[in-house]
């Protein structure tokens, strides 16, 4: 899937035409033409009273009756809140009128919209690398690198390339004969629910029924796959799909013998549903992993992580059988109070939201100096100023709400987004938990993570999301309701009061007895086996990262260094204008 528009101000026609590209057709230099390659996705049109809505991706429309009138109630107006609720899934949207074009992305902005200002107008594209090929001199962006070093991903709208930016989440471009501006008033914080959210049994039942309605919309009308592991997210989707009577298979990946494959395989057998293990065995390590890692980075434009070659390999293998998968992405993050540093949120991010007063500035500055000395001094000053403005604009929110505003606008699309962008080259990943309708209703209840204390560490309080999962499983699939999860207890243990002593005992037993499975996804083995090749990819010109390669056994930090070094190198190299970017479709 790919789109590109070179929009020239003051030029006619003001509203671009659409040019549909075939897989082997190169992108042409055609101003005022929206060039689209669908790839594994599709293009859908919806005529409205005062324009035409074009959707590129995997839009999921529930009841289309009266939708056009609600979306476009008067000339020049597109109700974005209606769009995000009524059209689920991941997609780009374009709204054409006689004199204007609006362009944005779906709820969560998982599919990125990049832009580049030009002397004559603006260029919009689904690929930052493609825009880099249009500006000639490609230069890496040190501010973007600093944010990745501090937070594992860029926190704002920079990209690897200077001069190319990412459109803010839940904003859209408004292109007209005289202007090209960013607009939008939709705010996720407006949907965080009341200060005293409901905790009634009836509200929980209503939420369960609503989620079932939403999931049924996400289930494709053809065979598909569901990510099935030992947790709550995947089994909730399996329960909904099996209750609906749809044809599907389940899958997971891991080293041979790892519980990540043996556990779901055993439970799939009990449920009488097909299961496809994606084995990360020696054959995978020898013949697939290195190419998969390179492909993952290229297909995500170096926004992905080198430690995830198995995601690309799994997508490639699954695409031989299905065109759609369902995953529990975003589910746990909606319910639980995130609290520990890791790849999803670094200590620097926690310091930003958890520090009293303005001490976060000193902590970030110290972290920057420890990484790059004085190299990032100017970038650090502008980053702190941008963070100050961001926090000031949200000073009316409670601390946890401020954090979740960041989660829904930035963390979701920066952390999960590359994975879904990569998968879109092979099939469509449908993520029912990121339904705006479900998101809004969940936040009206106490089970939403947004109503937790900031970085809540009390495990019993952080488990409240499991009450929803367990309620849904009791409603949809009694057998799955009683089957144990990989945590050692079943959903029934969570929900039924008389089982609470059993729950406590099982949690304690599981914590003390269960052996940790090192390197279940073969990431460390991959890194150990391919150091020379990875260093060869990077080459010697890795400044300002030279000398920062971690030693010892801190694999996460080593993977991060290799990933960033490759991204920095790629951003400083000339980008081919045609052949490379046909792969971004």
- Residue 177 tokens read as 């004969």
Residues of the chain with CATH 3.60.20: 2-186+575-582
**b/e per residue, 189-214, with b = 16+ CB within 10 A?**
bebbbeeebbeeeebbeebbebbbeb
Q: What is the pLDDT of residue 251?
A: 97
CB atoms within 10 A of CB 107: 26
CB atoms within 10 A of CB 399: 12
Cβ atoms of 108 and 97 within 8 Å: the answer is: no
Place of tokens 């009990």: 270
CB atoms within 10 A of CB 178: 9
- CA-nearest of 514, 529, 553 to 258 is 514
pTM of structure: 0.94
| Strand ranges inside 144-223, DSSP E | 165-166, 172-175, 180-183
| Distance between CA atoms of residues 455 and 282, nearest Å | 39
Cβ atoms of 50 and 70 within 8 Å: the answer is: no
What residues contact residue 46 under an 8 Å CB cut-off, 6+ apart? Answer: 52, 53, 54, 55, 64, 67, 68, 71
What residues contact residue 200 under an 8 Å CB cut-off, 6+ apart? Answer: none
Measured at the alpha carbon of residue 527, what is the angle toward residues 526 and 529, in degrees to the nearest 5? 65
For helices 259-271 and 232-244, angle between their N-to-C axes, nearest 10 degrees = 20
- Residue 198 tokens read as 């409901």
What residues contact residue 125 under an 8 Å CB cut-off, 6+ apart? Answer: 2, 3, 4, 5, 113, 114, 115, 116, 131
**Helices and strands of the chain, counted as H and E runs:** 26, 19
Cβ atoms of 105 and 91 within 8 Å: the answer is: yes
Q: What is the pLDDT of residue 312?
A: 97
pLDDT digits over 212-245, tens only? 999 999 999 999 999 999 889 999 999 999 999 9
Q: What is the pLDDT of residue 584?
A: 44
Rounded mean pLDDT for each run of 10 residues along the chain, 585 residues in total: 95 85 89 95 95 97 90 89 96 94 97 96 96 86 95 95 96 94 95 92 95 97 94 95 96 94 95 96 96 96 94 97 96 79 86 86 92 88 96 92 94 96 98 97 93 72 79 96 89 81 66 71 93 86 71 82 92 59 44
- Residue 549 tokens read as 């390669």
Measure Cα distances from 240 to 333, 375, 568 in Å: 20, 52, 43
Class of domain 190-338+402-513: alpha beta
Task: Please list the alpha-helical segments (H only) found in 219-308.
Answer: 232-244, 259-271, 282-287, 289-299
Q: What is the pLDDT of residue 13?
A: 72
Place of tokens 């987004």: 417
Q: What is the pLDDT of residue 216?
A: 97
Class of domain 2-186+575-582: alpha beta
Task: Please list the alpha-helical segments (H only) found in 373-499.
Answer: 377-393, 399-406, 417-423, 436-442, 459-462, 465-476, 478-482, 491-495
For helices 142-151 and 555-572, angle between their N-to-C axes, nearest 10 degrees = 170
Start-to-end CA span in the chain (Å): 4
Measure Cα distances from 539 to 3, 149, 234, 294, 529 in Å: 32, 20, 41, 15, 18
| Distance between CA atoms of residues 347 and 173, nearest Å | 34
Residues of the chain with CATH 3.40.50.620: 190-338+402-513
- Residue 453 tokens read as 């204390």
Segment holding 4, helix H or strand E? strand 2-8
């Amino acid at each position: 899937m790919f789109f590109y528009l070179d929009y020239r101000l003051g030029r006619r026609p003001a509203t671009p035409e659409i040019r549909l590209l075939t897989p082997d057709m190169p992108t042409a230099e055609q101003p005022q033409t929206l060039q689209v390659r669908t790839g594994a996705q599709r293009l859908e049109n919806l005529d409205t009273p005062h324009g035409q809505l074009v959707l590129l991706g995997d839009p999921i429309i529930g009841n289309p009756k009266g939708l056009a009138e609600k979306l476009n109630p008067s000339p020049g107006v597109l109700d974005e809140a209606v769009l995000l609720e009524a059209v689920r899934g991941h997609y780009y949207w374009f709204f054409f009128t006689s004199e204007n074009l609006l362009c944005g992305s779906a709820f969560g902005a998982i599919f990125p919209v990049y832009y580049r200002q030009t002397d004559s107008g603006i260029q919009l594209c689904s690929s930052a690398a493609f825009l880099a090929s249009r500006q000639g001199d490609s230069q890496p962006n040190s501010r973007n690198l600093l944010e990745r070093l501090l937070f594992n991903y860029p926190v704002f709208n920079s990209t690897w390339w200077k001069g190319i930016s990412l459109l803010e989440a839940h904003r859209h471009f408004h292109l007209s004969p005289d202007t090209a501006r960013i607009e939008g008033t939709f705010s996720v914080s407006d949907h965080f629910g009341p200060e005293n959210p409901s905790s009634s049994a009836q509200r929980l039942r209503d939420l369960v029924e609503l989620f079932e309605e939403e999931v049924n919309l996400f289930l494709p009308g053809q065979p598909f796959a569901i990510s099935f592991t030992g947790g709550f997210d995947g089994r909730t989707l399996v329960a909904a799909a099996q209750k609906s009577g749809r044809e599907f298979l389940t899958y997971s990946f891991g080293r041979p013998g790892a519980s990540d494959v043996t556990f779901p395989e055993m439970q799939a057998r009990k449920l009488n549903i097909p299961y496809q293990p994606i084995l990360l065995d020696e054959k995978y390590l020898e013949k697939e992993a290195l190419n998969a890692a390179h492909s993952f980075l290229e297909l995500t434009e170096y926004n992905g992580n080198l430690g995830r070659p198995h995601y690309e390999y799994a997508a490639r293998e699954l695409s031989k059988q299905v065109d759609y998968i369902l995953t529990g992405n975003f589910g746990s993050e909606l319910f639980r109070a995130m609290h520990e540093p890791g790849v999803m949120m670094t200590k620097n991010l926690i310091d930003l939201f958890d520090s009293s007063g303005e001490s976060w500035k000193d902590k970030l500055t110290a972290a920057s100096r420890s990484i790059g000395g004085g190299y990032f001094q100017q970038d650090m000053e502008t980053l702190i100023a941008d963070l100050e403005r961001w926090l000031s604009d949200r000073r009316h929110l409670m601390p946890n709400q401020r954090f979740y505003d960041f989660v829904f606008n930035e963390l979701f699309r920066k952390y999960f987004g590359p994975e879904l962008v990569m998968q879109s080259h092979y099939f469509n990943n449908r993520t029912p938990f990121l339904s705006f309708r479900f998101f809004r209703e969940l936040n009206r209840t106490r089970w939403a993570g947004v109503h937790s204390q900031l970085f809540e560490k009390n495990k019993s309080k952080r488990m409240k999301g499991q009450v929803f999962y367990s309620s849904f499983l009791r409603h949809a699939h009694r057998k799955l309701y009683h089957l144990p999860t990989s945590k050692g207890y079943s959903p029934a243990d969570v929900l039924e009061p008389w089982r609470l002593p059993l729950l406590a005992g099982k949690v304690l037993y599981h914590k003390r007895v269960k052996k940790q499975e090192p390197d279940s996804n073969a990431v460390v083995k991959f890194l150990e086996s391919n150091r020379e090749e990875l260093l060869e990819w990077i080459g010697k010109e890795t400044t300002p990262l030279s000398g920062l390669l971690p030693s010892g056994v801190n694999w996460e930090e080593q993977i991060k260094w290799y990933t960033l070094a490759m991204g920095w190198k790629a951003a400083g190299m000339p980008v081919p204008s045609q052949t490379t970017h046909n792969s971004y479709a």
